[in-house]
Structure 1
Amino acid sequence: MPNTLDAATVHAWCEHALDALGVARETIDAINVYPVADADTGTNLYLTVESAAQAVEAARAGEPTLAEATAAMAHGALLGARGNSGTILAQLLRGLADGTAAGGDLRSALDGAARLARAAVARPVEGTILSVATAAAQAAAEAPGDDADVARAACAEARAALAATPDRLPALAGAGVVDAGGYGLVVLLQALVTALTGERPTEPLADRAATGGEVCAPGTPAPDGRPGTPGGPAFEVIYLLDAPAPAVEVLRRRLDALGDSLVVVGGDELWHVHVHVDDAGAAVEAGIEAGRPHRVRITHLAGPAGGAAPTVVPDPVERAVVAVVPGEGLARLCTEAGAVAVTVRPEEPLGSGELAVVVREVHAREVVLLLGGPELRHTAAAAAQQVRAAGVRVAIIPARSPVQSLAALAVHAAERRFDEDVVAMTAAAGATRYAELAVAERRSWTTRGVCEAGAVLGMIDGDVAVIGDDLTACAHEVLDRMLAAGGELVTLVLGTGAPDGLSRLLRDRVRRAHLGVDVVSYAGHQPSPLLIGVE
């Protein structure tokens, strides 16, 4: 195992952290009593790290440096941050990225991370994730040895600081638990130790026997009436904000006057804003005055009225298909075929928690998950694990392209037994060859040689088969290669960058050169200009 933090270790760190938080998520949710007892800190941390991991995975194609890998990790966390603790974690990772970009070692990076995170919180409270981060940074600064030794020292001191959080925060002492956000940070530091050394430290303790208390149920008021009880603000407001730094300073003051749990993280004119308020509209309006808020999320908390109104749950259905696709047009096609469609966008990675919510809300006893690409397999597996715990039967169709998902949907038959239906859909997806036309974003090496930025890539079954300058010419060549092995039906899915008339040109070519082959085309509105399926 490496003893020094590098880009490969950052990738391994993300994988270990995601696995560990997946295991610890329910425990962290259960001890979440501060600042709001809404039982979601573990889930929020998982989704935040999942977004960071996806960004690091995407950056691997460019063989990143350590600074580039940590910058990707921080940016992904910023875009996907959830809740109070997830937002603070995003700032911790930004501090780590700033430290590595400046050429610092792990000691200085952890110190900068703790300082930056504390500065992002309007009213820092001891006994929280901030205290755990500060303790870890102080231990790291004094630790001799290489990065592995530094990580061990930081992790050990973080565990000790976590155990002491009830002594510093009465809300935790009254509930007999340690801080949920701090617990998550210890899990993250343990994953760093594992990535550097291969060691797997034991899980920290979630409760505090010394307090004599028991872990309270989510929503139970803390005995001292501090924030986090049902008497707090009614709404959690989160949004990304494009704004200059001076405008953000004004925004901080306005939001601090409106509510509590204010955390504003980010930089370079992209910020993540988190606040608990009674007037959600005012919090959003303040963001509009500062810049351009987007990806706004407003969640009802346990407010003075005793929580949100009960929802009406429809009667469950026997079976449903949930299709994850990369374009609105593809989503409409799947919906018309009877599936529940989830649209994903490159700038908004889909979290497993979000997908699990969608699967639960179809209220089906059996669910087939159709994926639009291999990059979603970990997300789908984690979502399926969460839903299966509630007794729902879930099967994942391993489609590697949206055209394979369409082929699977075409043979779906709800009247068949579940296993038979899954086998038939999987076989249809596997029997469909797929191709994608894309434009290269950067210069890189491929199996067909060097690809310059702006070149057109024709990929067949996931491998680069054609490199050219003209999208239409490359599409013709890709289609000819695919049909050289035979085929009866060609499916064309046109993306946002497809040139006018491309569908007609390809249809005419098939009719002239490949007699007896049918062609269907759809407007998918996916990012890549063209998807091709051959059955």
Structure 2
Amino acid sequence: MSILSIDGSTLKRMIIAGANYLEQNKQIVDELNVFPVPDGDTGTNMSLTVLAAAREVEKSDSNDVFEIAKAAASGSLRGARGNSGVILSQLFRGFSKGLQTHSTIDTVALAEAFEEGVKTAYKAVMKPKEGTILTVAREATEKALQLSLETDNIEEFLKEVLSYAHTVLKKTPDMLPVLKQAGVVDAGGRGLLYIIEGALKALSSKEDIHLEESVSAGISKGSYSALSTISNEDITFGYCTEFIINRSENNPSQISELREFLNSIGDSIVVVEDDEVIKVHVHTDHPGQAIEKGLTFGSLTNMKIDNMREQHSNKVIVEEIKESKPQEKKPIGFIAVSIGEGIQEIFKGLGVDYIIQGGQTMNPSTEDILTAVEKVNAEKVIILPNNKNIILAAEQAQQLSKDKEIFVVPSKTIPQGIAAMIGYEPDHSIEETLESMNESMSYVKTGQITFAVRDTVIGDREIKKGNILGMDEGNIEVVSDNLEEAVYELIDKIVDEDSEIVSIYYGEDVKEEEAIKAKEYIEENYPDCEVEVHFGGQPLYYYIFSVE
């Protein structure tokens, strides 16, 4: 018997079934990712996004078509993770708008809702690429609009749309050379078709369908219990010391002299300057000596000294209380996405109010970002995504926030985020602040050392799982079997005679003495370049290099 319309209860089952089917097949979609580095995978991100949509649908008491679609849109918007998840949420959002005046859905209404979804998704992406999920959705919609005038049988209609969409998906390698070289179709497009396939399976079924929850449905807030195993004696330097030096007009300070002195009395050193001020952050057992040295360069402001050993002793007990303790309201607050104890400490030292645990393989959702915004007591909040796959989710949070103004500085890497914070100048307008942070970010080049998680071919490089990869601004430039050799080779690609400062952030799987070797290599081969070594503590990435 022909199915001529979809009511609210059927739409509800279809959305839940689509989410379940992608969840069952997300690993297949993940394996279509061309880039072999450990990063947020498309299938996982899309699955988490559509599961958030289905969760809202499942708990809705309504059987109204528009209310069900609206619930899916709301859930997916807040649950969106990664760029593919954000695009998927925009497809749901437009789909919902397209059903605003419908009590049931026929083929024409379905095609028009698809069309609204595609329009909304394209608006959300600044530079859409052909050969992606957007292409698959657009061309499938064009076919749907044509078929909607030829048949009123929804099951027949969806089968033909799906068949055509698979044809388009198979063509995506011809649209994106990187797909062709790797011999795969677009991962986002494949994920979308799994959702439609699952929805189609539920169309003619009358049985109840329940959501199959993902075991990886969220990012944990982090456990502080492990801190109790750390002794105070393991904290090398006890005082986090920060201050700003107002440069005296008759003192052309040698910032290298200041860095060298601070290095002799502590670690986790951040020293940055402009024409008027020098910002200083150091962990030391002698904060007085750091301040005295600072006074030789000019007058001091914004001085802050925290006893880290005392903080550590109380942290396990008071962490939850501390998070909920009211803070003094600020005109501008800052949120950074980061992972790694050392890197997080640096961000906090530079004035970041709240750290969202995330980054590679852990792309926070729009909801995670909105929750963080609520915790920052400020009229305006600036977000540093520090990962290209988190920028769209941050921008989506910007649009959804009702109580606070959110601004996104589109940092793609940790060094860019740190540079942006260094570029922040208090008492400036928000426009001047954003301009200054973006400008500071533009002066930084990022290098990264990680490992391959799958076999693939990139350009003329054949990459095997487990190879050490060196990346320059996200492009794989080094493939090696040896970590130390890869480090030196990448350094020679990202550092040159014009480089002034290199900061090395070493990860949780790297020993400090190994990072010191990298520092010595740079000092020997690039003698005019200042080198700083910081414990980053980041997982998956052995090293992150910042080159200015």
Give the structure-2-normalised TM-score. Answer: 0.47
Q: Which has the higher contact order (CA 8 A, sep 6+)?
A: 2
